[in-house]
Amino acid sequence: MSTQESYVTEDGRTIGPTVMEMKNITLRFGGVKAITDISFDIREGEIRAIIGPNGAGKSSMLNVISGFYVPQEGEVWYKGKKRPPMKPYQVAQQGIARTFQNIALFEGMSVLDNVMTGRIRQMKSGVFSQAIWKGRAEKEEVENREFVEKIIDFLEIQAIRKTPVGRLPYGLKKRVELARALAAEPSILLLDEPMAGMNVEEKEDMSRFILDMNDEFGTTITLIEHDMGVVMDLSDRVVVMDYGKKIGDGTPNEVRNNQEVIDAYLGVAHD
C-alpha cells in the first residue's frame, strides 16, 4: 500500500492519502474480458475521473468498486485493508455511495423520503425500537431529518421536497439521486455519467454541485463522464480506459498530451 503525502492543490483544496486502491483487476463475463489487469488509486478529497470510449469498461469498473460485480482477479484495497468479497449493500454500508447511469430512484416515494433512505447507513436502531417508535429510533429520525434538509438546501431542491420522484423531469431526478448519495456522507462518491442526457445549463449546474460538494464537504468523488470538456475542468486526476485496458493515468494535462490517449480517444473525439 502506497502511503503518499498530503498536498494542496492550486485552488487550495487538500488532497489526502490513498483511500482506495484497485490492484490488477480483471473482470470477465463468460469469455469476454470487460476489464483487463487495471490498477489505479483514489485519494482522499480528490475528484477522480474515469474516461474512455463506449464499451471501454468504465461502468464495469464502477460496478466493481461498488460491489455490483465481483472481479475474477485482482484486489480492492479500502482504507488500508484488503476488501473481502462483499454484497453491494455491504459495500454501501462501508461508505461507498453511488448514482446510476440510468437513474435508480424510488419513483413512488417523495424526494424527502428518497434522500432519507440515503441515511439508512447512519441509523442504527433495531426493528423493535422502531416498531414502538421510542428512544433511539425517534431521536435518530429527527437528527437525520435535519441533516437531510441541509443536503436538500445545498442541492437546491427544497421546492420539490414532497413531490413523488416519478413526476420529476430528468434533470431534477439526477439531482435527487445525487442528494441521496450525498446524504450517506460517503467516503467515496461514485457518479456514473452524472451529466448524460443533460442540456448545457443543466450540465453547468451539475458541475457546480460536484465542485461545491467536493469543496464544502470534502467528498472524494470518482466519476465517469463522456463530455471531455467537463472532465478536464472538473477532475484532479484522470484514468483513461480503452477496450478494458488502462491506457493513461494522470492529471488532465498529462492525459491530454499522452499520445496513446490521443490516438485512442481524444484524437477521434476532437476532429
Partner 1 sequence: MPVAFLNFMEVTMNGLMAGVLYALVALGFVLIYKASGIFNYAQGVMALFSALTLVGIMEGQVPFSHLINAILGTEIHHFGWHINAFFGILFTMVVMVGLAYCVQRFVFRHLVGQEPIILFMATIGLAYFMEGLGDLMWGSDIKTLDVGLPQGGSLAIENLTVGLAAEGARYYGMYIDKLDMVATVVAAILVVALVLFAQYTKQGRAMRAVADDHQAALSVGISLNFIWILVWSLAGFVAIVAGVMWGAKSGVQFSLSLIALKALPVLMLGGFTSIPGAIVGGLIIGVGEKVFEYQFGPMLGGATENWFAYVLALLFLVFRPQGLFGEKIIERV
Binding interface with partner 1 (CB under 8 A): 66, 68, 87-90, 92-93, 97-98, 100, 104-109, 113, 116-121, 123, 125, 127, 130-131, 133, 137, 140-141, 180-181, 184
Mapped to the 3 state alphabet, what secondary structure does 17-85 carry?
CEEEEEEEEEEEECCEEEEEEEEEEEECCCEEEEECCCCCCHHHHHHHHCCCCCCCEEEEEECCEECCC
Angle at 220 between CA 214 and CA 222, to 5 degrees: 105
Whole-angstrom distance, CA of residue 250 vs CA of residue 52: 14
Buried b (16+ CB within 10 A) or exposed e, 183-200: bbbbbbbbbbbbbbebee
In whole angstroms, the minimum distance from the beta carbon of 70 to partner 1 comes to: 14
Given the complex with partner 1, which of 98 and 246 has the nearer CB atom? 98
Please say whether the beta carbons of 207 and 234 come within 8 A: yes
Whole-angstrom distance, CA of residue 16 vs CA of residue 232: 21
- Direct distance between the N- and C-terminal alpha carbons of the chain, in angstroms, rounded to an integer: 41
In whole angstroms, the minimum distance from the beta carbon of 117 to partner 1 comes to: 5
In whole angstroms, the minimum distance from the beta carbon of 53 to partner 1 comes to: 25
Given the complex with partner 1, which of 162 and 270 has the nearer CB atom? 162
Burial bucket for residue 123 (CB in 10 Å: 0-12, 13-18, 19+): middle
Given the complex with partner 1, which of 28 and 121 has the nearer CB atom? 121
Given the complex with partner 1, which of 56 and 179 has the nearer CB atom? 179
Whole-angstrom distance, CA of residue 46 vs CA of residue 65: 16
Given the complex with partner 1, which of 192 and 249 has the nearer CB atom? 192
Given the complex with partner 1, which of 1 and 104 has the nearer CB atom? 104
In whole angstroms, the minimum distance from the beta carbon of 28 to partner 1 comes to: 21
Task: List CB contacts of 243: < 8 A, sequence separation 6 or more.
Answer: 55, 56, 57
In whole angstroms, the minimum distance from the beta carbon of 171 to partner 1 comes to: 18
In whole angstroms, the minimum distance from the beta carbon of 113 to partner 1 comes to: 6
Given the complex with partner 1, which of 86 and 262 has the nearer CB atom? 86
All three cell numbers of 65, joined, read: 468498486
In whole angstroms, the minimum distance from the beta carbon of 68 to partner 1 comes to: 8
> Which residue in 176, 186, 181 sits closest to 156, CA to CA?
176
